[in-house]
């Protein structure tokens, strides 16, 4: 397999990717989205939110690489060519960024920074009641590479940490809940809830009115996964009622978020434009290069996706 590598992303034309791929593979026929040329030449597609149906037009495609650790943006296309393996990146740099984001908003809530900012604006010197770290329980939904890193870093700071996943896992120092029948118990002990789940048929809309009601009153919600997990109306109702003290949202059901969406102006929502973790070609490329080599040699792939499971 020595054909062209297509870079399919609207974010940029991919010069950093060309450089790191050539450092590992030698000269490559690298083609950005605006200059794909003969589609018959393309054998590898590096893709992030590709136009629906585009990948199916590459008749000799041998490998699809998600440029994110999530793959729902690919699996949403029902015209993906059957039999072409899909792999996702494993990017330690991105994992670290995601954990930083979750820790920042959790600590901001835990230490009442927004309340102190309001006091500063009012020129009011007023200490807030302190909550011991040992009494602020963190729950991490999703225990893949990102979720495990998030959970371990919270635990290192002294928070009691639990995780929830579809299937049982074992993590040192982390209480783990598995399966839908254990979700309510997990939520009930999560004063800070961090969502890092993949978006699948089973997780879409998982965070609904019942889920938010299961959290302790005054809980804080951080979403660095996918907006599709959340029923927006349920989240807004939980915030308005005081069931949730606040939410930090890096993702939304519709991105970019429409200008008239109430998330923009809600005083208990902190909103960022899907920047919690950005793929870094330097740290993500080694596994991509290895998978291209493995595909050329007919060897088993790393981080291959099960389209039926959704991750």
Task: Check which CATH number belongs to the domain holding 50 and give it.
Answer: 3.40.50.720
> Are residues 268 and 246 in contact, defined by beta-carbon separation less than 8 angstroms?
yes
Question: Distance between CA 106 and CA 193 in Å, rounded?
Answer: 9
Q: How far is CA 230 from CA 134, 194, 217, in A?
A: 28, 12, 18
For residues 87 and 97, membership in a common domain is answered with no
**φ/ψ (deg, to 5) at 173:** 80, 5
For residues 43 and 163, membership in a common domain is answered with no
For residues 98 and 39, membership in a common domain is answered with no
Question: Distance between CA 237 and CA 271 in Å, rounded?
Answer: 17
For residues 98 and 228, membership in a common domain is answered with yes
* Residue 309 belongs to a domain: no
- Per DSSP, what are the bridge partners of residue 248? 222, 270
For residues 284 and 253, membership in a common domain is answered with no
- 14-18's contacts with Cβ under 8 Å and 24+ in sequence apart are 14/46, 16/281, 16/282, 17/46, 17/281, 17/285
Q: pLDDT digit of tens for each residue in the chain (311 aa)?
A: 579 999 999 876 568 999 999 999 999 999 999 999 999 999 999 999 999 999 999 999 999 999 999 999 999 999 999 999 999 999 999 999 999 999 999 999 999 999 999 999 999 999 999 999 999 999 999 999 999 999 999 999 999 999 999 999 999 999 999 999 999 999 999 999 999 999 999 999 999 999 999 999 999 999 999 999 999 999 999 999 999 999 999 999 999 999 999 999 999 999 999 999 999 999 999 999 999 999 999 999 999 999 988 88
Q: Is 7 exposed, middle or buried (0-12, 13-18, 19+ CB in 10 A)?
A: buried
Q: How many structural domains is the chain composed of?
A: 2
For residues 116 and 253, membership in a common domain is answered with yes
Lookup: tokens for 11: 């974010």
Give residue 286's domain range: 4-91+279-297
pTM given for the model: 0.93
The yes-or-no answer on residue 226 being catalytic is yes
For residues 290 and 251, membership in a common domain is answered with no
Place of tokens 């989205």: 33
Question: Distance between CA 28 and CA 79 in Å, rounded?
Answer: 27
Q: How far is CA 3 from CA 229, 292, 296, in A?
A: 38, 11, 10
For residues 36 and 74, membership in a common domain is answered with yes
The yes-or-no answer on residue 266 being catalytic is no
71 Cβ contact partners less than 8 Å away, ≥ 6 residues apart: 86, 88, 198, 305, 310, 311
Which one of 189, 268, 274, 296 is the catalytic residue? 274
* Residue 17 belongs to a domain: yes
| Gap between the terminal Cα atoms of the chain | 25
Which one of 31, 226, 229, 303 is the catalytic residue? 226
* Residue 310 belongs to a domain: no
């Amino acid at each position: 397999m020595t054909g062209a590598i297509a870079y399919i992303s609207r974010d940029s034309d991919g010069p950093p990717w060309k450089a790191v791929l050539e450092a590992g593979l030698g000269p490559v026929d690298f083609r950005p989205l605006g200059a794909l040329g003969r589609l018959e030449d393309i054998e590898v597609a590096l893709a992030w939110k590709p136009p629906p149906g585009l990948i199916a037009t590459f008749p000799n495609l041998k490998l699809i690489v998600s440029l994110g650790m999530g793959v729902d943006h690919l699996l949403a296309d029902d015209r993906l060519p059957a039999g072409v393996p899909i792999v996702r990146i494993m990017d330690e740099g991105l994992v670290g960024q995601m954990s930083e984001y979750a820790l920042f908003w959790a600590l901001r809530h835990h230490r009442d920074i927004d309340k102190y900012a309001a006091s500063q604006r009012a020129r009011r010197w007023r200490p807030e009641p302190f909550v011991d770290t040992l009494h602020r329980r963190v729950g991490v939904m999703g225990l893949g590479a990102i979720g495990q890193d998030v959970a371990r870093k919270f635990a290192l700071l002294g928070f009691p940490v639990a995780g929830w996943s579809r299937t049982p896992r074992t993590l040192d120092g982390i209480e783990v809940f598995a399966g839908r029948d254990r979700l309510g118990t997990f939520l009930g002990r999560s004063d800070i809830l961090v969502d890092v789940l993949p978006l699948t048929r089973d997780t879409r809309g998982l965070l609904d009115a019942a889920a938010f009601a299961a959290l302790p009153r005054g809980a804080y919600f951080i979403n660095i996964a996918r907006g599709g997990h959340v029923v927006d109306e349920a989240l807004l109702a939980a915030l308005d009622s005081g069931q949730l003290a606040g939410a930090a949202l890096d993702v939304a059901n519709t991105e970019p978020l429409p200008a008239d969406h109430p998330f923009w102006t809600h005083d208990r929502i902190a909103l960022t434009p899907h920047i919690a973790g950005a793929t870094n070609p330097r740290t993500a490329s080694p596994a991509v290069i290895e998978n291209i080599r493995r595909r050329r040699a007919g060897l088993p792939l790393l981080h291959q996706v099960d389209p039926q499971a959704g991750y």
